[in-house]
Amino acid sequence: MIDREQVLHVARLARLELDEEEVSKISGELSTILEHIEKISELDLESVPPTSHSVDVSNALRPDVPRACLPREVVLSQAPAVEDGGFVVPSPTA
């Protein structure tokens, strides 16, 4: 069972604001889902290696050749706020 405090804790970790209605709804929903997920605790997996990826590729490297990147104004064109060639955000300490 996930209680309201845990939901708020996880939401803080995820940088997600939840309103009051969402908190109570989600704590019930997450509990049901996690109960189903708990099914995997039935299995003995002691000696089983984990799979993070189904393709057997590691360290895929390409030659380190410099090439043009997207122009600055193109990258900034989709940003909500821009100034002096950079992204503008509110102060972290305000």
CB of 30 to other proteins, least distance (A): 6
Q: Closest approach of Cβ 15 to other proteins, in Å?
A: 5
Residues forming contacts to other proteins in the complex (CB under 8 A) are 2, 6-7, 10-11, 13-19, 22, 26, 29-30, 32-34, 36-41, 43, 45, 48-55, 57, 60, 62, 70, 74-75, 77-81, 87, 89-94
| CB-count burial class (<10 Å; 0-12, 13-18, 19+) for 11 | middle
Q: How many CB atoms lie within 10 A of CB 6?
A: 13
